[in-house]
Structure 1
Amino acid sequence: MLVVTRLRTPSAPSGPDAAAEDELRRGLLHALAILAAKPGYVSGDVGRNVDDPGLWVLTTRWENVGSYRRALGSYEGKMHIQPLMVHAVDEPSAYEVVEEGTDLNEARPRSIG
């Protein structure tokens, strides 16, 4: 599975906030290191948008959705990753990887609510 989480750097009233940008960058790199140590992690990257430098992305690949959700629900995930999500763009972020000759999951929301 593929997870694509986009995050926006907080801005000060006078424009871009360099300190907030640096803090978000360090937080995302720390989050990636935490996730990389979890069972089921395959790969990941942190990136910054070339046209809109206030927009960041954390992408990760996982063996399955359960591994990803357990990683986020871990102590480290709750303490260090979930607080970063206040900067996340409100959109679905988990995707199944589509490969030739494989069946897709049933098309239905998986969230509770």
Structure 2
Amino acid sequence: MTIRVLMTRRIPELTSGMDLAVLPRLNELLIHLRGMASEQPGYISGETMHNVEDPSEYLVIGTWKSLEAWRKWRNNSRRAAIQAEIDDLLGAPTAYKVYGYE
């Protein structure tokens, strides 16, 4: 069964005091993570959007062939290390919700 994974991240506004020096590293990590995901068995697609009413909130939608494929990727130690660094830079964990089709 195809699933969709909704991931939300909050990237602090630059005016809130976020260190501008972390932005290049954050961007590098996000691009690397997307590239790694695209090479995983079961990965179909991904897209990133921002909330038009709250520009600091981003939504990433990943589409996977199965829950098993997603879980394998979610439990990948390299992915987890990169995600931990992203969350550390942002100061908050990424939230995940998994949805299936009926």
Q: State the TM bucket, normalised to the shorter chain.
A: 0.7 to 0.9
1:73-112 CA-partner distances (Å, limit 9, x unpaired): 12321221244344324xx5100024xxxxxxxxxxxxxx
Which position in structure 1 is the counterpart of 2:94?
88
Q: How does the TM-score come out when normalised to structure 2?
A: 0.72
Paired residues in the alignment total: 95
Q: How does the TM-score come out when normalised to structure 1?
A: 0.67
Return 5+ residue gaps in structure 2 as ranges: none
Instruction: Answer whether contact 1:28 1:58 (CA < 8 A) is retained.
Output: no
Report which of the two structures shows the higher radius of gyration computed on alpha carbons: 1
Higher relative contact order (CA 8 A, sep 6+): 2
The structural deviation recorded for 1:38 is: 0.5
More helix by share: 2
Return 5+ residue gaps in structure 1 as ranges: 99-113
Instruction: Answer whether contact 1:10 1:87 (CA < 8 A) is retained.
Output: no
1:12-36 CA-partner distances (Å, limit 9, x unpaired): 7x61526255544443232211111
* Distance 1:16-1:57 versus aligned 2 partners, 3 A rule: farther
Instruction: Give RMSD over aligned pairs.
Output: 2.5
Taking every aligned residue pair, what percent have the same amino acid on both sides? 19
* Distance 1:23-1:57 versus aligned 2 partners, 3 A rule: farther
